Chain A
Amino acid sequence: MRSQPKMQNIVLDGLWGNNPIFRQILGICSALAVTNLVLNTMVMGIAVIFTTALSSLTVSALRRWTPRVIRMMIETLIIAFYVILFDQALKAYWPDMSRNLGPYVGLIITNCIIMGRAEAFANANPPGLSFIDGFFSGAGYACVLLVVSIVRELLGMGSILGIPMPFFSSALWDRWIIMVMPPGAFFTLAVICWIFRSVQAAKETQVPGGKK
């Protein structure tokens, strides 16, 4: 029997050590698509946290009964279930946001982070821990997206959450139009991964005999 992972490690792994975006480079498609405005990104982040946490919980709760041969179909079904619920709720109660995010909420179904957590963690761990793991993996994803979107909205539109920022919204700042377009996300995401990984590499060399 494998020893159960510690809660603290799960949280830190999801947010930093094994961050889905800059460590595992997963879920890049939506990271590029919805990060041009901070508000859109926040909703997207919440949607992903909601889905990863609850689908991990459900997959884990059912893990003793689910036959191995069809487990991936069941996982997809569960993920799709939560995503559709979220999408429907958004359509009904926040139509403007639903229109902004367009097809990308639905595309969370194909976001590999969620399937990845279900396969790698929830299948072998109890529901409570799986929920935490899913939650913090989603949160790790959301945090990186938020950083990307802050950079993009600030440079591209001179505002954050639609609020004009000093200097960036003045005539002194020439708005970087490429930042609100999809290519802007490539550069921003690449630079952020670069910075985060360099920080991590520096940390690991500091601790002699540290893990990895």
Chain B
Amino acid sequence: MSMREKNWFPILYMFITTLLLSAVVIAFGTITRQRVKDNERIAFERAVLEALPIDLSGRTSPSEIHITYRENITEPTKSTAGALGYRKNDSLIAYALPIDGPGFWAPIRGVIGIAADKQTITGISFYDQNETPGLGGEIVKSEFRDQFVGKRLADEGTSLEIRMVSVELDESSVHAITGATQTSTRLNKFLDKRLSAWRDAMKEIE
């Protein structure tokens, strides 16, 4: 009777194969873990910088992003109500408020920049979204994002609104993406919620 016909052989075989293959997977995973983490961090830092009035031209490699971020951005404090601060020579130029909420397919995460007057939007960017390409996915395109620049948070009630394309705009609203009703509605909801909460929190701090 050869070893292959013993009834413990399949178990041993399975065990050894699993051991070998998982060892490789785990080893590879360990090697790349730091890199994956860094990627996520850089994506966030890039989004923060893009939402702020910072000229990034020519400085878009991961290491440059990281350096720019470290030089300019300060962590959230009590006086910023959860927003990151953009400082130059110790004076605060703008806030960067992380936003997240449900999208159509998966959560949307991004950053919205607000100037030191706590009203004027300096930009918006998204670093994690899985909306339908060509529809909801258009939120990452500059056509959509550029609309936000210069808009003002309303003092009361709805802070910022995403409206249907056929409805006229005022200084605190932008147009939705045609055909992406679901993404726009959901984005509108959590964006306003987060911004209104931040606005009210900042009022309280004053």
Contact = CB atoms under 8 A, between A and B. Distances in A.
A–B direct contact (CB < 8 Å) = yes
Interface in A154-190: 156-157, 175, 177, 180-181
Nearest to B32: A92
A61 to B, nearest CB: 12
A77 B21 contact: yes
Interface string B1-28: 0001000011001100110010011001
Interface residues of A, number: 31
Interface string A95-115: 100011010000000000000
Contact of B133 (A65, A77, A157, A175): A157
Main secondary structure of the interface of A (DSSP, over half): helix
Which 8 pairs show the lowest CB-CB distances between chains A and B? A92-B32, A180-B134, A95-B39, A67-B10, A92-B35, A81-B21, A157-B134, A70-B10
B21 A78 contact: yes
Interface of B is mostly: helix
A66 B35 CA distance: 36
Contacts of B132: 36, 180-181
B29 interface: yes
Most buried by A among B13, B24, B133: B133
B170 to A, nearest CB: 28
Contact of A85 (B17, B28, B39): B28
Given A67-B10, A78-B17, 8 more contacts: A67-B4, A67-B13, A70-B10, A77-B21, A84-B25, A95-B40, A100-B133, A177-B134
B100 interface: no
A93 B28 CA distance: 13
A177 B135 contact: yes
Contacts of B35: 92-93
A98 to B, nearest CB: 9
Contacts of A62: 17
A74 B14 contact: yes
A91 interface: yes
A160 B146 CA distance: 25
Contacts of B25: 81, 84-85, 88
Given A91-B36, A156-B134, A99 B4 contact: no
B28 to A, nearest CB: 6
A120 interface: no
Contacts of B17: 62, 74, 77-78
